[in-house]
Amino acid sequence: MRTYTVFVNITLSIDEQIVKRAREKLRATGKSVNQEIREHLQHLAGNEDLERDLEFLERTSGLGNPEPGWKWNREELYEDRLKWPRE
C-alpha cells in the first residue's frame, strides 16, 4: 500500500505590514513566511508520528539497568544541571 502527500494551496488575507515584519524577522532564521505557516499548522495539527513514538516508548521503557535500590534524587539532578554545559 502506498500513501501520497497531496499539497493544498491556501489563500490568506493578512495585513501587508504584518507580512513585511514577519519576513524581516524570518530572514534571520533563513525561513520563508510560507515555511513558518506550514510548520505552525503541522504543530497545530499534531504529530502524525505520535502512534509510532508511543509504540517506541512502550517498547523501550524499563530497559534501563539502574543499580538495585537506586531512586531519583532531586538534589543530585539539580546539581548535575548546574554543571551545564557538560565537559
Closest to 26 measured CA to CA, from 13, 12, 15, 40: 40
| Separation between Cα atoms, residue 73 and residue 81, nearest integer Å | 13
Cell of 1: 500500500
Please report how many Cα atoms fall inside a 13 Å half-sphere around the Cα of residue 51, on the Cβ side.
1
User: In 1-87, where does DSSP find H-type helix?
Assistant: 16-27, 33-45, 50-60, 74-82
Query: Averaged over 9-17, what is the pLDDT?
Result: 94
- Write out pLDDT tens, residues 38-78: 988 887 887 667 777 788 888 877 766 667 777 777 887 77
Domain boundaries in the chain? 13-47
Q: What is the pTM of this model?
A: 0.49
